[in-house]
Every structure is written in structure tokens, then in C-alpha cells.
Amino acid sequence: MAENGVEILCVGTELLLGDILNSNARWIAQRLAGLGLSHFRQSVVGDNTDRIVAAVLEATKRCRILITTGGLGPTPDDLTTAALATAFDTSLEERSELWHEIQAKPSEEKHISALSDGSQVLLPAGAEVLPNPLGSAPGMIWSPVSDFTILTFPGVPSEMRAMWIETAEPWLRRNGGASSVFISRKLRFSGIGESDLVERIRDLLVSTNPTVAPYASLGDVTLRLTASGISTIHAEALLLPMETELRQRTGRFCYGSDEDTLASVVLGLLKEAGQTLAVAESCTGGALGAALTAVPESSISFNGGVIAYSNTVKQKLLGVPSILFDEHGAVSEPVVTQMVAGLRSQFRSDWGIAISGVAGPEGGTVEKPVGMVYLALAGPQGCEAWVQHFGSSQSRSAVQQLSVIHALDRLRLHLLAQS
């Protein structure tokens, strides 16, 4: 494919206003990479015919394939199809075909078959229907000028993805012109900052095939490995030695790959060991439990939890003596130690985690500032408690998220040590 091969154009004022996250562009970009199709530009325009027309005409000068999302359907702001017809001075035709079939032989073009329900759709003359199995707004595949093709999709992510996988991707495999296959893998890290991680692998970052790129997020670092080859097997063969080297250099800082989360990894280790976990949360307000229960089949190893926000609940449900609050306060090592002891007794779990802290933005003192969190982890070999200072500049949600990450990572390391 030419270097200026594919562009993505997303239509929707709600995207410009930030009311909706543009997840479609990210998903399409990942699928294009998997197909070996390069794309170097993404654009967003509002629900305005003139701006859509201008954006499309500009794209004809740069790319061979334009992929649009949004602006399809029966509502007044669904302007994409009409705008495309306007851009190329083409009339709209009423069509009854809503589905087409991709034939098994890759050399054959798709064939259109009409539905019997008499549904109608307006498309530019010469466009072919891109069916929507989950909704009422079909897209189209259209080549209005030489060496330029438009594929249109609705903005609803579930509909767009179904259309892409069932019809658009086979078309792109045949017509996209990619000369290489790209494979990407994400390695995920915890307990190490981006700068420290980069120092360990600095010489590998200059590799061109596969490439290695670091991405940092709150409490987590990801390395994205991408290899290109003449086939999937070839690309995988290039990727594997790099992945192996990275894992060797980073050791237990690397907790997983691709869609792994700390919660899913911890639950997997617990399952392997035949052990269970329960949690007692104060400042995180259930965030730790939510992370665990987001993992399918978490009930195999996760017994449950308590949101012990008030001191009264800590006393009555977890058996924390009132004298500890008087002498040390709720945010303290003695309190989380007793919280986790009472938790394991109540839930009869092999492991327990307790968290109590000052998430902010108010409530901090000189002795116990915002961002100070005590955590306790108890297991078959005993109990340990520690304090984390996440900093008073962190938001409330950031303090909660970091507390969850640190708790799960500490448990992960203990589970690895016992295996």
C-alpha cells in the first residue's frame, strides 16, 4: 500500500465537545495495524455538511482508502451519506439491498443479495451496501473517483465492529494492498516507573523490527511490541525473541500481556494455588472489589469484601477495638492490621487485604496528609502492613486507583514467591 494509504474520519459534534470518547478511532487503528495497513491521519468533524465535504475532498489528495464513522441513520444529524454524494456531485439512489455476502474465494468480488423485507436506503450511485447486522443504519463501500475508496460505518461501536469484522475486513484484505502483516503485543508492568524501565531496555528501543515503545499510565507501564513480516508466522517469529528478552530483563515487574490486568493475574495465581481472597476497604470504597469482580469467574477465588467506611462498621463487622481509633486513628497500621485479621476470620479466606487512607481532597492533616494510605496483606505466612504516600496533588480517584494497584501487586508478588 502507498505510504499515504488509509485515513479515519469520525463525524459527530458530540466527539468534538468531549461528550463521547472516540473509541472507534482507536479500535479501527488497531485493526488496520493487524492488517498491515498504514494510516497516518485521523480527523474529527462535527455534524456539518460543508465541513464533512471539505474533509472528504482533502482526504482524496492524501489517501487511497477513507474510513468514516458516525452520521449514518434516520436522525437529523446523520449527514454523512448525503455529504459524500454532495462532495462528488453524485445523486442518491433508493436501494433495497441491505446485505451482501463475501464469497469464500478471495479472488471473487462480493455479491449483493436483497432482503425480502423491502427496507430502503439512500446511497450514492455506484455505491455498494455495507450491511449492519446489529442496527438499522447500513454503511457503504464506494469508489467515487479513481484510486480512492470510502467505507462508511455508524458511530455506535458495537454496530461498527460487527460490520468491520463480517464484511469490511475481508474486503480490506483483498483490496487494501498491504505487503506486510503486523503483529503487536503489549507487555504490562507494575512496581516500576517508566524511566527505570526504559533504563533497563534502552538499547532495545532502537530496534526497527520489531519496535518497542513505552506507554505510561497511572500506576502502570506498558511496552508495545510490533513486528511486521510477510506472514503472521514470520511476524510472530520476529516478535518472540524480543518478548523473551524483555521478560528476562524485567523479571517480576512484568505481570502480564495484552488484556491481562493485575486483578486477572492475581485471581489466576489464586486459582492455581487453590486459595481464596477477601478484601476490606475504607478509602477505596469498593474499587478493589470491583476490579476483582470485573474478571470472569472471579467467584472461584474471591470470597467477597466489606466496605468498612465508618469506624462503627470497622468495629462491628471486622472487630477492630475502639481503643485503636482513639490511640492511632482510622488511618493507621494497627487499624488495617486488625481489619484484615477480622476479615479473614469472617470470610474464612486464605488471603486478606485491608485498605484505609486519606483519599482527599479534604480531610488531610500534617501527620496524615491527603494521599497517605495504609494497607495490610495477610496470608498463610502471616501479616504485613505498610504505608504508601501517593502525594497530596493526586486526585481522589487517583489515590483510590493507586491503592488498588499497590495492594494487588503486593499480593501478586507473594503468590509468585510461594509457587
Q: What is the DSSP string of 121-189?
A: EEEETT-EEE--TTSS--EEEEEEETTEEEEEE-S-HHHHHHHIIIIIHHHHHHHS---SEEEEEEEEE
What integer pLDDT is reported at residue 20 of this predicted model? 92
CATH assignment of the domain containing 163: 3.40.980.10
pLDDT in tens, 371-396: 999 999 999 999 999 999 999 999 99
pLDDT in tens, 184-205: 899 999 999 999 999 999 999 9
Of 132, 158, 175, which residue sits at a domain end? Answer: 175
Does 356 map to a domain? Answer: yes
Are 78 and 29 in a shared domain?
yes
What is the three-class DSSP state of 228?
Answer: strand
Looking at the structure, do residues 25 and 134 belong to the same domain, yes or no?
A: yes
The Cα–Cα gap between 211 and 205 comes to: 7
> Tell me: the pLDDT tens digits for 222-243?
999 999 898 889 999 999 999 9
Indicate which CATH number applies to the domain containing 289.
3.90.950.20
Residues 268, 312: one domain? yes
pLDDT at 98: 47
322-363 confidence digits (pLDDT tens)? 999 999 999 999 999 999 999 999 999 999 999 999 999 999
Does residue 1 belong to any structural domain of this protein? Answer: no
**pLDDT-based confidence at 135, cuts 50/70/90?**
confident
**Mean confidence (pLDDT) of the chain:** 91
Q: Which of 175, 205, 231 is a domain's end point?
A: 175
CATH code of 207's domain: 3.30.70.2860
Q: Residue 398: which pLDDT band, with cuts at 50, 70 and 90? A: very high
Q: Which of 311, 308, 312, 289 is nearest to 299 (CA)?
A: 289
Range of the domain at 203: 181-257
- What pLDDT is stored for residue 120 in this prediction? 65
* Residue 41: pLDDT over 80: yes
Are residues 334 and 392 both part of a single domain?
A: yes
Q: Mean pLDDT, to the nearest integer, of 167-172?
A: 91
Is residue 294 located within the same domain as residue 377?
yes
Whether 33 and 167 share a structural domain: yes
Residue 284 lies in a domain: yes
- In this structure, are residues 412 and 370 in contact, taking their beta carbons and an 8 Å threshold? no
End residue of a domain, out of 142, 175, 208: 175
pLDDT tens digit sequence for 80-118: 999 999 999 999 988 765 444 433 333 334 333 333 344
Q: Are residues 294 and 331 in the same domain?
A: yes
153 in the same domain as 10: yes
* Domain shared by 320 and 379, yes or no: yes
Lowest average pLDDT, out of 31-40, 135-144, 306-315, 398-407, goes to 31-40
Confidence label for 306 from pLDDT (cuts 50, 70 and 90): very high
Average pLDDT over residues 31-50: 90
222: CB partners within 8 A, 6+ apart: 186, 187, 188, 189, 214, 215, 216
In this prediction, residue 4 carries a pLDDT of: 61
Would you report the helix, strand and coil content of the chain in percent, each value rounded to 5? 40, 25, 35
How many other CB atoms are found less than 10 A from the CB of residue 195?
10
Specify the number of domains making up the chain.
Answer: 3
Angle, vertex CA 99, rays to CA 97 and CA 104, nearest 5? 130
Burial 367-384 (b: 16+ CB within 10 A, else e): ebebbbbbbbbbbeeebe
Residue 190 lies in a domain: yes
Judgement on whether residues 164 and 191 belong to the same structural domain of the protein: no
pTM of the model: 0.80
Q: Does residue 128 surpass a pLDDT of 70?
A: yes
Band of the pLDDT at 268, cuts 50, 70, 90? Answer: very high
* 167/189 same-domain check: no
Supply the pLDDT for residue 106. Answer: 38
Confidence of residue 14 (pLDDT cuts 50, 70, 90): very high
Do 47 and 14 belong to one domain? yes
CB 215 within 8 A of CB 222: yes
Average pLDDT over residues 248-275: 98
